[in-house]
Structure formats: structure tokens, C-alpha cells
Structure 1
């Protein structure tokens, strides 16, 4: 066969970057957009067809649902993976901060996530994941450290695998990350003897390395037993032995999750280096030992195989792999779906989602909490679309707590007094023909876990979306009365960054009383302190400022959470602020970051 010079160089480059028996090659799978695909109590591996016992943060294809068929991920119409032909799903428990003073819990934003695809030295043929392969690594019931200590063990020849760690990069690593005498059973984890920046269990230090807050490190096994099958996540995978898999098994890529949480925003609210720490996983684990990762394969097999055989892009990412099949997504966009379990999972709350109790160090959990109510339909969505009510069956395991009542705009026969024409319920004297009212409801008896009252369950089969609402209160409206917020105007719903770059920076988390936040109290608090802008969020948070920083106006439907202090008012939503301005303060001064929102 005749080779041209260019084809020969290409062939040499390809063979040089392919995996081998002597060295590791790898490429990092990056995600794009603002935030994950979805967060919520969803886990089609361990809790198919019902609410998971705890909240997860999920990346990947938008066909993700409570129940997944083997080929369902491949039907995704978009994915949060930068690589278009990766429609797999990747998820881990969410993280919360427990305030040492108040005992209240606050969601910790996922800073970002990377998934490394390692192609380890082996004489096996490394093959792409078969679509529908389910993998779970880690034990959600653990509250005790591994017997192997803090060191990673990823080959059976080296002993019992220990694939879970935390890494904590610090600007000043002179202080030990873990106490030297820690047994891992009394408030803090154990140091990795070979890595002073890592260990098992949560550390008692703040992680403030450059772009590197607290990081969860989760290694996945790479030997798949086809005899066990795609869905048998308890027995279908194991770690290799001296780099190779057993005869008849398939050697797949070695995945490694890096999940960064924005913990430094809480650094001034707890004391470091005292043998205790304030973070808790969503399953009620204050130790971190129960950290785990889940995966459902949704790769186009040819695309992943081409990456395995030809790409050694390393930290630069799969987007730099030569000849990438299918190409990349526009990184200025986002791919998102809505959680089918509508409950409070962001912001400040008195209990973890699913009402998980917070456990103790050194006491493993015997089992998972029982789910409530009956199972739901397992019909798989073909693609996310505009939902429409089709059933009233409750979702199994859903907890009817802190859920906003759904509202729909309708045309009123007469102007509504007090509206200004810019937003429903805003003050200013102009009339408006638009108001808010409840959508029609179908009524049934409340489940025991939901407490007394009447509930409604909306089932949106187009994207497996289930919503439970109470009917014991009037529908919330955008503002309070005109007399209560005299001089202030509702400006609209604006996107917030719940990390370090808050939109309103004058006063963050204004103290207007626990569970008593209303729009009227918030604007009164901010106005008395000389601020011209006020914003409410998550139904129970108040912020003040004089300008909006790096934000954009979003649809009012994103601001739909009833105020904790007055259910007739709406106080923002998840990462969404209901903004009010003092009419005497002039125009809003803001810096807008242009981007597309799905």
C-alpha cells in the first residue's frame, strides 16, 4: 500500500497516542453550560420508578428519568457533555452545609465536574461501554472509614479496592489536612499517607486552592462481566488484577469523577482545624465515607472507541481529540431538564430533601428509608417537551413538603387594582388585565408522609415530571399589597449565581427572621439600610444592593416559590431572584452576561 507523507504522519501520530501495555493515556470529558443537567431525588439504578432516598446532582443526556431502558440515554436530544455523542448520565450525592449556630442546612453549589477517561496499561483490548451499562461505586450506608485507610487502591493485586477520596487543595498546606491522631470515627476523616492533600472522609480544613475547592474523587472499576448483564450494577463490574480483566470479561475505560463543591463561600461560618466539620451529604452522612457515584452508558459506541484507540488529549479534554466523531456542543448553551420530584433542594432548609436524618460518625446505616405511596408509570420519554397534565397518580417516595403551588396566567375580565402593567401584583398605580390564579386540580387523600390536607399530583408523561402541591392556601402572587411596598416596584425575575458571584452584593442573606421572609419585609429591610434594590430567592432568602451584577432577566415562571412568611407572595425560585427597585432610585445599573438559557 502506498502512503503519502501526510497520511504516514497521521498514522504515526495516531499509533503514538493509542493506549498500550506500558503507559496510561487519557482524555478528560468536560461539561458545559451553567450548572448540571438536573438536581433532585432521582436514581434509576437503585430506585427505578420512584423518588430516590436522597438528592443527586446529575450530568449528561436529557433523556434521564426515574426509569431508564438500556437504550434510553441514546434518545437524548441534548447532553451537558461537551462531546455531542456522549449522552451518558453521571451522578453523585448533593452536598449541604449545616450551620453550626442555627442548625439550618444550606445547599452547596457544584462548582464543576470532570470525568476522566483513563486507558490504563493493559494487554487487554479496551472497548467502549455497551449502551445501558449501569455502574455504581461506593456504599451509601457507610459512616466508618475503610479498613485500608486513606490510600487509594485500584487494582485487586494490591488488596481490597479503596476507590473513594476527598482532595482539598490549599493555598497554605503547612497545616495538616486531617489531625494526625484521627481515627476517622469522631468528627473528621483520615489522611492519605502518600498525599498530604487528600484522604478519606471530610477534612476539617477549608479548601482554597486556585479554582479548586473541596473535591470528591471517585474511581470506577473497568472490568465488565457480560454474564452478569448491563443492569446488574451490584455484580457486573470489578477492578482489574495487575492491569488485566478476567477471561471472558470486557475491559472498559477506567472512569474517574472529579466533583468540585463551592465550599469556600462558607469558610467564615465555621472554625477550621478543630476536629469537626460542617458539611453533610444529601443522604444524611456527615462523614463523607458514603460518597458514591453512578453511571449509565449512553455513548455512541464508535465515537468512544475512536477516542480510546486514538486520543491522549489528557487534561486538555476530549474536545481536543483528533477526528472526534459527531463534534462538540456550543459551549455558550445549556442542556437542562426539570426534576420530577418538586421539593426544596436549594437554599436554606430545616431538613434534607427526603427528610433524611443526619447520622453519626462511626455508626453505619442498616438500610435505606422506606418509600411512601404507590409506584408510578415507567414509560420512557422520547424527548423533553412542554408538559401537559395526564394523570393524578402520586410519585412513590415523594415527600409533600415546602412545595410551591403551581400557577398559570389567565385573562381577568377587569383590571386588577394596584398592578402597574409591568408585572402581576406590582405597585405603581397602573391597571393590568393579567393576574395569577390556580390551575385546575384533581384532588385525592394526602399520603401519611405529606401531613394533613388535600394534595394534587400532576403527572407529565412527556418528561416523567411529577408535581405534588397542597390546596390549603391561596395561590401566591408576585408581590405584597401596594400599601405594604409603597415606593417599590417589582422589576422582574432575574437569574442569580448562588456561588461567590451573587447578583445582589450589598447585603447577602439579610436577617429578616428564619422562615418569615416576605417581599414586604425584604424591601423594608433593604430600604432602611439605604439600598435601592431588594431581591427574594428560594422562598426564604432576602438580598440587598444598588445594582445587579452579571445577570439577565428570565421568565417569571422561574420565580414561583411561595414566601415562607406569607404563602400569598412569591419569593423568587431556585437560582432566581424576584427583584424590586425603589422608584426614587432611578434606572437599574447592571452588567449583563450574554448567554443562551434552555
Structure 2
């Protein structure tokens, strides 16, 4: 079970300076149907994504992403990586859909435009386990979870969880493996923890996951030793996305059925297909410097050792909109689903 932020900070302060952990905000850079990892080149991917990070985000992305783009929505101005997840929608009893907006974490600066919380930690929140942490390399990418996985996928990926924000945005437990069964007073948080053991050779793999291996029992917990097949310990990457579901509290179906659905269209009323994508894009050796340091959270800002920027600068950054479609207001279908239904009727 994940500790609250205040508990984490207090515990970290008591430990010798061998730890390094980044926790920072990245505002929305775009919301559109693009996926340069799973569907490279497709202008109009299968489902809608909530994307943060560098403004070079595009249908196809190759090379050193840290040298592409002109700005980033992240606190650290050297981080041009892209981080993205499926978008959450509310499904009305009349069959229409409305996009659920995201909101910034209250442990981070106020005013971030649709912020996502990004973490790079070492073995856990409190110690690097005296291991060398090797930063991701230019060209590196990976995914966690899959829109086609069932509940057994969440048994395997214990870092894919949901938290009903019952006591404000700082609620951090209990963590569950599916949508909450009742309205959440302050919103819903989705959590995506990526594996941290690398094979040391491949920047990607056909399934975008096999080059990595997970040894963590759950969330922000100490991972076991990396296996010989994946011997390189990399940062523990995690996303927290806070969805502002409170808008829909009074629209909850009277039969008690779950009204939320992710943009990939799981019509079973479950969230087992939750997933996230990552494309590394830190400039130069900036991330390695951070992992080699003893800074924690906002103490890493202001050149100690990472350069940082204001919320206003973060919010000005946007990626080019390549897929022209309406994603706001009440929609008759999930974005991309009308086209999918049409194409399914074609004869080839």
C-alpha cells in the first residue's frame, strides 16, 4: 500500500543521502488519436490519448526525442519525453459520452493545465538499495498494460491500480484493480507503474514490453533483484492521473452500474485494459545526473541538478493537432469508434 506524501517525505528526510526521487507535474500537451509507439505513422490511432511532455509529439517519432521540439509541458525544462494514457469518458444512460478532464495533484504547483504527475524513483521511495540506476537511453520506449488484457493482466501488473479520491486529491489508498463501484467525492486516480529492469540491449521490442522486466510486488515498493535476462536497473517510472469525475456524481446510473469507460471502448464496464506509453526524451545526461544525485522531489529543481520552468511556461506549450475531430461536449460515440464501426462493415 502506498504511503501518503507527508509520510514519504518525512521518512525520506531521515535516511542517508543515497536516494534520489523525482516527482513533478507535466501539463497536457495534446489530446488526440496518435500513438507513435503502438501505431506509428497512423494519423488517427484506434483510440484517444491524453498526452503530456514535449511538443514534438507526432504520429511518428524517431531518433533522440530530447533534441526535437521547442518546448515541454513538464516542470523540468530538460524533459522532452512524452507520457500518455487512454482518456476516460463518462457514458450517460442515453448512450452519449463526455470526456472526463484531468486535474493537477495538490502536492504540485497549482494551475497546471490538466496536469499528470510523473515519478522517477530508485528502488523505492526511500532508498536506491545501493544499486547503480542507469537512465533510459535516446530512442527508448515502452508500454505497460494493454487495452486487450483481462483481469489476469492486473494480477501480473500490480502497479496498475485505481484510487477513489474520497478525502481530497491527497487520497492514496485503498488501491483497487478496477473502477470504484460508487461515485468518488473528489475524483478518480489512475496509477501506472512501469517495470524497472532492462535487458541492456534493446531500446524497444515487438510488444514494447519484453525488453523490460518487473520485480516490484506493487506500486512504490522495493523491487527484487533484476534477473540475468534483464540485469540493468533503471528508474522506476510511474504516472498518476487525476480524473475530475465529480462533475458526473449526480448522473450515476440508478442500477448502480459503472458509468465510466476508457477511450479504447471496453464495453464490459471494467478498467482491466488500462495502459500507458512512454517515450524517453530527456536532454543529454540530465536524467542520469538526477539519478546520481541525492535530491528529492522539488529539491531537484532550480539547477539542483535539473533546470525547471514556471507553470505559465509549461502551459504555453502545445503539440500540433493532426487529427481534426470533436472531443468535447456530449458525443454520440467514442472518438474513432464511429469510423471503426464503419470499417468493420467493409468487405475486403
| Matching residue within 127, 133, 151 for 2:134 | 127
Residues 165 and 218 in structure 1, CA contact (< 8 A), matched pair in contact too: yes
Matches of 2:83 and 2:64 in 1, distance apart? 16
Residues 1:310 and 1:332: Cα distance change in structure 2 (over 3 Å): same
Q: Cα offset for 1:94?
A: 0.6
Residue 235 of structure 1 pairs with residue 239 of structure 2: no
Matches of 2:175 and 2:283 in 1, distance apart? 35
Equivalences for residues 46-85 of structure 1 within 5 A: 46-50=38-42, 51-85=44-78
Structure 2 residue aligned with 1:40: 32
Q: Cα offset for 1:148?
A: 6.9
Per-residue deviation, residues 402-425 of structure 1 (Å, max 9, x unmatched): xxxxxxxxxxxxxxxxxxxxxxxx
Q: Cα offset for 1:311?
A: 3.6
Residues 1:147 and 1:38: Cα distance change in structure 2 (over 3 Å): closer
Q: Cα offset for 1:201?
A: 1.2
Per-residue deviation, residues 358-404 of structure 1 (Å, max 9, x unmatched): xxxxxxxxxxx6997xxxxxxxxxxxxxxxxxxxxxxxxxxxxxxxx
Structure 2 residue aligned with 1:410: none
After TM superposition, the score normalised by the length of structure 1 is: 0.47
Structure 2 residue aligned with 1:220: 194
SS in 2 for 1:307: helix
RCO higher in structure (CA 8 A, sep ≥6): 2
Matches of 1:93 and 1:304 in 2, distance apart? 26
Matches of 1:66 and 1:259 in 2, distance apart? 23
| Matching residue within 271, 282, 288 for 1:299 | 282
Per-residue deviation, residues 242-275 of structure 1 (Å, max 9, x unmatched): 5322346321100111001110011111158x64
Structure 2 residue aligned with 1:166: 162
| Matching residue within 296, 309, 313 for 2:292 | 309
Matches of 2:33 and 2:153 in 1, distance apart? 30
SS in 1 for 2:250: helix
Matches of 2:40 and 2:25 in 1, distance apart? 27
The structure having more radius of gyration, on CA atoms, is 1
SS in 2 for 1:197: coil
Residues 73 and 132 in structure 1, CA contact (< 8 A), matched pair in contact too: no
Matches of 2:236 and 2:193 in 1, distance apart? 7
**Pairwise CA RMSD of aligned residues?**
2.9
Q: Cα offset for 1:217?
A: 0.6
Residue 283 of structure 1 pairs with residue 258 of structure 2: no
Structure 1 residue aligned with 2:145: 138
Q: Number of residues paired by the alignment?
A: 302
Structure 2 residue aligned with 1:117: 120
Residues 226 and 250 in structure 1, CA contact (< 8 A), matched pair in contact too: yes
| Matching residue within 324, 332, 338 for 2:312 | 332
Matches of 1:253 and 1:371 in 2, distance apart? 43
Residues 1:222 and 1:28: Cα distance change in structure 2 (over 3 Å): same
Residues 66 and 79 in structure 2, CA contact (< 8 A), matched pair in contact too: no
Residues 30 and 318 in structure 1, CA contact (< 8 A), matched pair in contact too: no
| Matching residue within 212, 230, 234 for 1:252 | 234
Equivalences for residues 351-500 of structure 1 within 5 A: 351-355=333-337
Q: Cα offset for 1:218?
A: 0.6
Matches of 1:38 and 1:147 in 2, distance apart? 28
After TM superposition, the score normalised by the length of structure 2 is: 0.78
Structure 1: gaps spanning 5 or more residues: 1-12, 20-24, 150-159, 173-194, 358-368, 373-447, 450-598
Residue 104 of structure 1 pairs with residue 96 of structure 2: yes
Per-residue deviation, residues 279-305 of structure 1 (Å, max 9, x unmatched): 110000231111101000001242111
Matches of 1:62 and 1:228 in 2, distance apart? 25
Q: Cα offset for 1:107?
A: 0.9
Matches of 1:206 and 1:278 in 2, distance apart? 10
Q: Cα offset for 1:222?
A: 0.6
Q: Cα offset for 1:122?
A: 3.2
Matches of 2:173 and 2:80 in 1, distance apart? 36
